[in-house]
């Protein structure tokens, strides 16, 4: 007590970083903006509108659920906004609004809040929401094509067509079109350049480590190069199509559902890459990114247990010897 005022007494350290969860989520939102702008240009205002509806729904469900569960309000940490954006990015822009709201409800209510809220979900809410929608609504795999008109806000009549992964050679967009996103697909996944710009921002801001995206995309490249018997064009199409880059940069790097240690991250990312390839090459589904990430999410606790680094000064051999004698 000094001059009649109580002093703050707290445990060390008395200095703390200025980084907060909110700041991290804000960085992710900023990083998603280039892709959002690109999708609006490519698919029209409808894409933007769908994203906004999705964000609003996620925030609403988060707020309501915290109220019902009598927990503190967490919409301020902005994680629900990120989930809303990511789920919208994983949908064709032409789907009806009620559909994405259903997906948002599944993601936030079931996957996130029923398991304890931020940091407790065992799979990525946006991916789980997307898979829920894929399984429930056939319209989810009718990819909206670019050029439906910038002002065309009605979704259902929008042009749909096959994703490049399932298209025949003549229908394929050029590689340049693939890179800038002039192709059919989910609204946020097509413009690779915009996604990479966002990813770069996150790496520079030290929000994510480049390890998972690089290893994930790298392992897909290696497998596809082998599967395509050294055909670089084939491999390039494989890397640029589907939700691979979006998934690798924004979904596989989710803190809660990926391992903490470097070694764990590498194993996780290789696993994602291999399952993606397996589904694309041998499965009946055209796209495998969501499923591969959700499967590796489930493996994360196991990977983590196997890759926890040895505490400082613990000799490897001695520990083994001790275990054997015990």
Partner 1 sequence: MSNVPKGVLTAVKKVRGGVKVDHHKNTADLEVVRMDTPQKVVIPMQMNIGAPCEPVVKVGDEVAVGQLIGDTDKFVSAPIHATVSGKVTAVGDIKMPQGIMSKAVTIESDGEMRLWEGIEPPKVDSREDFIKAVRNSGLVGLGGAGFPTHVKLNFPPDKGIDTLVINAAECEPYITVDYRECIDNSWDILSAVYMIKDMLGFKNVVIAAEDNKPEAFKILKRIADDKEDVNDEVKLMVLESKYPQGAEKMMVQSATGRQVPPGKLPADVGCVVMNVASVAFLSRYMKTGKPLVSRSLTVDGSAIANPKNVRVPIGTNIGEIIDFCGGFSQDPCKIIMGGPMMGVSLVGTDFPILKQNNAILAFAKDDATIKEETDCIRCGRCAAACPLSLTPTNIVRAVKAKDTSVMNKMGVMVCMECGSCAFSCPAGKPLVQYMRLAKSMLREEAAKK
Which positions touch partner 1 (CB under 8 A)? 1-3, 5, 7-17, 19-21, 23-24, 74, 77, 79, 117-120, 255-256, 260-261, 304, 308-315
Using omega within 30 degrees of 0 as the cis cutoff, is the peptide bond preceding 108 cis?
no
Q: Rounded to whole angstroms, how far apart are CA atoms 234 and 206?
A: 33
Residues in the chain: 326
Q: Cβ 245 to partner 1, closest distance in Å?
A: 22
Q: Cβ 118 to partner 1, closest distance in Å?
A: 5
Residue 161 phi, psi dihedral angles, 5° rounding: -165, 180
Nearer to partner 1, 59 or 100 (CB): 59
Q: Cβ 259 to partner 1, closest distance in Å?
A: 8
User: Could you give the C-alpha distances from 18 to 21, 22, 31, 220, in angstroms and in order?
Assistant: 10, 11, 20, 37
Nearer to partner 1, 84 or 146 (CB): 84
Written as six digits, the tokens of 251 are 């979904």
**Do the beta carbons of residue 212 and residue 265 sit within 8 Å?**
yes
Half-sphere exposure of 299 (CA within 13 A, CB side): 19
Q: Cβ 1 to partner 1, closest distance in Å?
A: 5
Nearer to partner 1, 38 or 118 (CB): 118
Within 8 A by CB and 6+ apart from 130, the residues are: 87, 90, 91, 103, 140, 290
Q: Cβ 308 to partner 1, closest distance in Å?
A: 6
Written as six digits, the tokens of 167 are 């298209």
Nearer to partner 1, 147 or 315 (CB): 315
Q: Cβ 19 to partner 1, closest distance in Å?
A: 5
Q: Rounded to whole angstroms, how far apart are CA atoms 245 and 197?
A: 11
Nearer to partner 1, 48 or 81 (CB): 81
Residue 2 phi, psi dihedral angles, 5° rounding: -125, 130
Q: Cβ 275 to partner 1, closest distance in Å?
A: 22
Q: Cβ 209 to partner 1, closest distance in Å?
A: 9
Q: Rounded to whole angstroms, how far apart are CA atoms 131 and 302?
A: 23
Nearer to partner 1, 61 or 137 (CB): 61
Nearer to partner 1, 135 or 312 (CB): 312
Q: 25: closest CA among 288, 266, 284, 250?
A: 250
Nearer to partner 1, 48 or 207 (CB): 207
């Amino acid at each position: 007590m000094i001059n009649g005022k109580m002093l703050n007494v707290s445990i060390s350290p008395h200095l703390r970083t200025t980084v907060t969860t909110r700041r991290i989520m804000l960085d992710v939102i900023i990083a998603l903006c280039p892709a959002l702008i690109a999708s609006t240009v490519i698919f029209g205002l409808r894409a933007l509108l769908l994203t906004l509806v999705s964000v609003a729904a996620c925030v609403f469900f988060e707020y309501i659920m915290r109220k019902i569960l009598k927990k503190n309000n967490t919409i301020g940490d902005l994680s629900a906004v990120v989930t809303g954006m990511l789920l919208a990015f994983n949908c064709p822009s032409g789907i009806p609004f009620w559909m994405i709201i259903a997906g948002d409800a599944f993601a936030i209510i079931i996957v996130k809040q029923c398991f304890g809220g931020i940091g407790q979900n065992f799979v990525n809410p946006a991916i789980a929401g997307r898979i829920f929608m894929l399984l429930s609504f056939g319209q989810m795999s009718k990819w909206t094509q670019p050029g439906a008109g910038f002002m065309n806000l009605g979704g259902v009549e929008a042009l749909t067509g096959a994703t490049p992964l399932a298209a025949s050679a003549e229908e394929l967009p050029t590689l340049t079109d693939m890179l800038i996103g002039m192709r059919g697909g989910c609204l946020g996944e097509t413009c690779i350049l915009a996604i990479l710009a966002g990813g770069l921002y996150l790496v520079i801001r030290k929000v994510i480590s480049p390890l998972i995206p690089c290893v994930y995309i790298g392992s897909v490249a290696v497998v596809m190069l082998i599967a395509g018997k050294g055909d670089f064009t084939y491999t390039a199409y494989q890397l640029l199509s589907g939700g691979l880059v979006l998934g690798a940069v924004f979904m596989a790097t989710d803190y809660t559902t990926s391992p903490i240690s470097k070694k764990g991250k590498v194993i996780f990312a290789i696993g994602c890459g291999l399952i993606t390839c397996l589904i694309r090459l041998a499965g009946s589904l055209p796209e495998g990114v969501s499923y591969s990430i959700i499967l590796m999410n489930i493996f994360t606790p196991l990977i983590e247990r196997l890759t926890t680094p040895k505490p400082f000064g613990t000799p490897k051999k001695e520990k083994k010897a001790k275990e054997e004698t015990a």
